[in-house]
Amino acid sequence: MVKSSEPQPQVCVVALNRRTGQEIVRQLKPLLEPFARVLCCTVEDTLPPRLEAKVVLTTLHSLVSVVSDRLAPGSTVMVIRRTLTRETWEKVVSLPAGIRCLVVNDCRETAEETVSLLHELGARHLDLIPYWPGMWPVPPAELAITPGEAAHVPPEIPCVLDIGPRVVDASTVADVLGCLGLIDAELHKRISSHMQQTMSHGQGLRLALGWLAEERRRTEAALDMVQVAVVAYDSQGRIVSINRVAQEGLGLPRAGLLGQYLWEVIPDLRPFLASKRCAHEEVVRVAGKHVVLNHQTVAEDAAGTSAPAGGVFTWRDASAIQALEQKVRRQLAFSGFRARYSFSDLIGEAPAFREALARARKAAQTEAPILIEGETGTGKELLAHAVHLASPRSRGPFVAVNCAALPETLLESELFGYEDGAFTGARRGGKPGLVELAHRGTLFLDEVSDLSPSLQARLLRVLQEKEVVRLGGTRLISVDIRCIAASSQPVSRLVAAGKFRADLYYRLAAVRITMPPLRERKEDIPLLVRHFLQQAGDTRELSPQVQDILMKHDWPGNVRELKNVVEYMCTMAEGAFTPRDLPADLGQQASAGVDPAGHPVPTAQGFPDADWLLGLTREDQLLISELAGVGRGRSLGRQALTARLTARDPRLTEHVIRTRLRVLAEFGLIEPGRGRRGARLTPAGWALAAKIGAATPGVLAGS
């Protein structure tokens, strides 16, 4: 124990006579010093007018009223509890049962107190009678038992058993130490040693102290396993607990730190103690090192008021935290759960495009779920990346999953994870799902419209309850995620058609953002081409002829298709870019006016810019022509229609055809098929087909 420069607290023993007081002081000094000074005052020598002591101990209950008006402010008074040594107790126990004994002491109160003590310790086999000087008549007895007061034994008693002065009970020592705030491991050893030599006033105290010692050992062992420095202090600022990490960092033995004033051991922490200020993740210097400090005071409610009763300091080496952060970042980067694109990667100045970005920037600052809609290749995933990086969750993971890329059963296990043995082939030990891995970050669900009804129900529960259950498991795992969904189909129409849950749609679409197709923002094509050329490290410029071809193309694949075209030109062109350096479909259409299959391609001259075209695209007009080709009143299924149109233009994918059929149906030009019936032209569609056929001879051949 390291001593403090502060004056030691005083313990004052108040007894009737000098002999009793000196005996008690003799017993207490080895237990309390050098932690407290033990003094003695007696009624025999006249008590001082003021007892300047932290704790005042009286030998009798009757002395409490005598000292009560002499106590200094803040003093505590208690009555000493005394017991016997084990050696003398064994002599009392060995006496024959039923023997009549006088219990002799210097006054009535101490005599009766000694009788109570013997009964409490278990001397129930003896007939005990209290006796004190002046008592008359003297009760007849075979034996006198006295605690060092043999001079007061009546001469007519033939035998005397002097058990010697009673000793201070361990419970009194513990009370004094607790009042002084001096309980620690070293003093606990002293109390335990004292108890081994005496008979405890109550056996429960021995059990309680043993239990507390075992609990303290467990607590210290647990704190030593924590890789964080922990120091706890009491209301006086003395260290009451310190773990291995803190002790090794200070370079001092633990026994030399307990009980010492914290500001003397760690002066760097003095400002926090002086102001009672709590610290949360503050970077300070402790023992010459930069650490991340946390400080929390402990409030103790006393008499209806909250007063600080101590606190706890914890800290970690700043360099260790930096190393751990780098490790986590490497692991996340290796796993791919990070966003790579920001708003600066989204190129465009078209009004519709800028409006979409403005809405996304506002939504990024909130926790609201976002639904991004738009055709394939318009940049929905890039926008999701940008929203994550601009949000408060930017330091968390960004987990993306394509709901259309995996079968339902596999997608379920990937999203929600599974426990060990959940199904045949499950990884041993189980696997966390992507929802779990997105904790404290963003979960991006691409093509969310392709989720099956069962997965829609499970996802809805996760978003509502913020909890997930792995496949084959029963444990609820809390998750904190922000969901961003994307779809190339208008989800609201799927909801109206009963193909998507309305409650999940409203949960996902707190903010709706539509990414415009490239054909609706062709003014951005030069900007995008320049950006892609810079990414490729190509400094060549587009010729007016090439730029004109790019501007006239409808870009069914949107920005993704444009990027592929630029990469193709950079690879194939040996000098300046020319129309011959474009991909075959763009180059042939521009030079020969035919598609790769050799069919005539409607051009600006073939399809005059007239009101009756209703602003339809080239794909719309080809679809009308193909449906007209099967004959009036007949229909054509989407698969057959896709096969025919793909042969004419490979860029007309099933997705593009499905999208354009929906648009034509809205114009009232086709009647969409149900089941196997397929689609067919309406009367308005046949009227338009006739005009298209008149403008482009041969298109309606076979109708």
Higher pLDDT, 480 or 673: 480
444-448, 540-544, 693-697: least confident range: 693-697
201-219 confidence digits (pLDDT tens): 555 555 555 565 667 677 7
Say if CB 269 and CB 248 are below 8 A apart. no
Per-residue pLDDT at 243: 87
For residues 586 and 218, what is the distance between their CA atoms, to the nearest angstrom? 77
337-379 confidence digits (pLDDT tens): 788 899 999 999 999 999 999 999 999 999 999 999 999 889 9
Angle, CA of 198, 142 and 156, to the nearest 5°: 110
- Between β-strands 680-681 and 481-487, what pairing exists: parallel, antiparallel or unpaired? unpaired
Name the nearest CA neighbour of 491 among 516, 512, 467, 520: 512
Helix residue spans in 365-512 (DSSP H): 380-389, 408-416, 434-437, 453-465, 491-496, 502-508
Distance of CA 401 to the CA centre of its chain: 24
Q: What is the mean pLDDT of residues 382-389?
A: 95
The half-sphere exposure of 506 on its side-chain side, counting CA atoms within 13 A, is: 4
What residues form DSSP beta bridges with 467? Answer: 478
Name the nearest CA neighbour of 316 among 256, 226, 384, 241: 226
Per 3-state DSSP, the chain is made up of helix, strand and coil in percentages (nearest 5) of 45, 20, 35
Tell me the chain's radius of gyration from C-alpha atoms. Answer: 46
For residues 566 and 532, what is the distance between their CA atoms, to the nearest angstrom? 7
Confidence category of residue 661, pLDDT binned at 50, 70, 90: confident
421-455 confidence digits (pLDDT tens): 666 556 666 788 888 888 889 999 999 999 999 99
Mean pLDDT of the chain: 81
65-94 confidence digits (pLDDT tens): 999 999 988 899 999 998 888 888 888 988
630-648 confidence digits (pLDDT tens): 777 677 877 788 888 887 7
- Whether pTM > 0.85 for this model: the answer is no
Say if CB 653 and CB 646 are below 8 A apart. yes
For residues 568 and 582, what is the distance between their CA atoms, to the nearest angstrom? 7
Confidence category of residue 14, pLDDT binned at 50, 70, 90: very high
In the chain, the amino acid numbered 74 is G
Q: Which residues are CB-contacts of 84 (< 8 A; sequence separation ≥ 6)?
A: 92, 117, 121, 163, 166, 167, 198, 199
Tokens 């930069």 belong to which residue?
Answer: 290
Dig out the tokens for 389 from the structure. Answer: 């990086």
Domains of the chain and any CATH numbers: 10-82+178-187 (3.40.50), 85-165 (3.40.50), 226-320 (3.30.450.20), 336-514 (3.40.50.300), 519-592 (1.10.8.60), 611-695 (1.10.10.10)
In the chain, the amino acid numbered 588 is Q
Higher pLDDT, 3 or 101: 101
What residues form DSSP beta bridges with 290? Answer: 285
Confidence category of residue 336, pLDDT binned at 50, 70, 90: low
Dig out the tokens for 187 from the structure. Answer: 């003093």
250-254, 423-427, 562-566: least confident range: 423-427
Say if CB 374 and CB 488 are below 8 A apart. yes
Q: Which residues are CB-contacts of 112 (< 8 A; sequence separation ≥ 6)?
A: 130
Count of residues in the chain: 703
Cis bond upstream, residue 34 (ω within 30) = yes
Distance of CA 82 to the CA centre of its chain: 53
482 pLDDT above the threshold of 90: yes
For residues 496 and 338, what is the distance between their CA atoms, to the nearest angstrom? 35
